[in-house]
A and B are shown apart, each in its own frame.
Chain A
Amino acid sequence: MSKQIQTYLDTVCQQVKYREVHDEIRRELGSHLEDAVEKYTSSGMAEADAVNAALTDMGDPALVGQQLNKTHQPRTEWGLLIATLLFVVLGCWAMYAIEVGMGSGARPGFFIHKLLWSFAGLAAAAALIFVDYRRLRRYSPLLYAVTLGGAALLAATVPSLNSSLWGISYTPILFAVALAGIFTDWDWDRPHAVPKAMGLFAAPLLLYLAHPAAFMEGLEFAAVAAILVWRSRPHRQQAAAMAGAGLTVAGIAAFRLWNTPHMRYHLIGALTDPTGEGYMTHQSLLTLQQAGWWGHGLAEGLPALPGRDSELVFTFLVHSLGWVAGAAICCLILFFLRRLISASRTVRDPYGASLIVAAAAIFAFRFAWNLLMTVGLLPIAGVDLPFISYGKQGAVQLALVGLVLGIFRRKEIIRTAALPQ
């Protein structure tokens, strides 16, 4: 390509702040200029004159560059950002109210711990917004292996099958991020693609299902992993085979669950027995009924409500702030999920989009299960309300939102169209 054209392209790119798009711009404009020169030379013009003519037709390079620069700017998903901040404020407020309601002689620290973990989460989120998420991709298999190994170790070193597994609730997010990377550009035509995919799906699932304490994590993992595998577009027969295998296993598991008297009792009792298994659900429903349109304010700490800082924090909020506020919170949750889904559609990079879909699946699962638990449609199962409940989970969830915001931020400043082979 002639030096003159190169200089022209350099001038254009000088006006475009984000270097990542320079290469693509040069290719596109360069290709155009080559076509233009060819048109002039094929009608008899000398090469040098043809180049001049083509560049004149193109117009002022600085102007072209400035106009291009306007499109290739970072973007902010304000809806997601503001909704998340509102959730954090709600959570801190709730912990404050719980502490106030406990009076003296209470276990201190709800509010201050919530504040600290929220700050930690927000700091992590802020950092992740400015990290190039694409660097994560190559570590996906490693992340998967480490998470699986860690979870297996946890399960092996725990004293009994019924004790709780510290840290297991962080694993679905880690698996989701890893699988998003593994299944982007997964080649379904290569030999053994289906067994490999099923293996990746089954290994964590077996681990989760082996421990009653990790049942919910298993469900969450299954839902998110299924979505990611489906997104990678297997052929119809492959998808049918995997779905068939999955449903068979699910059917067997459900059958076994139902035939274990202890589990069946827990499941039914959770939804119908107000003094035994269903105590929390019953209390939740009672409390919700007593809330009234505008709530009872800060004063009532509701010591009788179990899990008011964790699983039933929504019930607590409704009781304090009223049904109207409860409806508003539900609207905010739906808004948050909707922004996530539309963000996944406007991000053109497949890996980035998959990460956002994974995040959306995780949040949808947790919000939905928690809210349905609160109104008694699902058994109480240790699923906290994202961002709002007490605990360290909120910090990790904030970090995940930071990752999503970072992906969205870059959507116009990275090259997304793949070059032909």
Chain B
Amino acid sequence: MRIDKELLKGSTVILILTLLDRRPMYGYEMLTEIEQASGGVFQFKEGTLYPILHALESSGYVESYWDRTESARQRKYYRITDKGRGHLTAKRREWVTFRSAVDRVIGEGGIS
């Protein structure tokens, strides 16, 4: 099922920060994780991930470093910062509020 782009835009930051909260990752790795973890629901134009990552770094929520893995390919890793963790907590709270509000409106038999 194709998810509306607008819905996706708002939650991409929370998805990325949640992943990085677990461990540092590089861009391609993040995309693969999101696709797997969401059961294939979230697939978006891969290129748009990088402007978001760069903007997150500019805001101080993540920091990047280049590293070499076993395959000897240089990859740019991102890790979350303390400021990023704080932002993630705030965004999570926001999401829960939003989600329960929508559930309440939809669930209360308002629109069928």
Contact = CB atoms under 8 A, between A and B. Distances in A.
Interface of A: 12, 24-25, 27-29, 31-32, 34-36, 57-61, 63-64, 67-68, 70-72, 346, 348, 412, 417-420
26 contacts: A12-B47, A24-B76, A31-B75, A31-B76, A32-B26, A32-B27, A36-B28, A57-B45, A58-B45, A59-B48, A63-B48, A64-B47, A64-B51, A67-B48, A68-B50, A68-B51, A68-B54, A70-B51, A71-B54, A71-B58, A348-B63, A412-B58, A417-B64, A417-B66, A420-B68, A420-B74
A348 B47 CA distance: 24
Interface of B: 26-28, 45-48, 50-51, 54-55, 58, 60, 63-68, 73-76
Contacts of B73: 31, 34-35
A346 B47 CA distance: 26
Contacts of A59: 45-48
A68 B57 CA distance: 12
Contact of A28 (B46, B55, B58, B76): B76
A31 B46 CA distance: 13
A24 B50 CA distance: 12
B23 to A, nearest CB: 18
A34 B48 CA distance: 17
Contacts of A28: 27, 50, 76
A417 B54 contact: no
A64 B66 contact: no
A56 to B, nearest CB: 9
Contacts of A71: 51, 54-55, 58
A59 B47 CA distance: 6
B76 to A, nearest CB: 5
Contact of B47 (A24, A60, A418): A60
A271 to B, nearest CB: 43
B28 A32 contact: yes
A35 B50 contact: no
Contacts of A67: 48, 51
Contacts of A61: 47
A374 B97 CA distance: 54
Contacts of B48: 59, 63-64, 67
A36 to B, nearest CB: 7
B101 to A, nearest CB: 30
A366 to B, nearest CB: 29
Question: Quick one: which of B50, B67, B74 has the most chain A CB within 10 A?
Answer: B50
B74 A29 contact: no
Nearest to A24: B76
A61 B47 CA distance: 8
Given A419-B66, A419-B74, A420-B68, A29 B28 contact: no
B107 to A, nearest CB: 36
B8 to A, nearest CB: 13
Given A32-B26, A68-B51, 5 more contacts: A36-B46, A59-B45, A346-B60, A418-B66, A420-B74
B28 to A, nearest CB: 4
Contacts of A35: 28, 73
A96 B73 CA distance: 65
Contacts of A418: 65-66
Contact of A63 (B47, B64, B76): B47
A27 B74 contact: yes
A27 B46 CA distance: 16
A67 B46 CA distance: 13
B77 to A, nearest CB: 9
A42 to B, nearest CB: 13
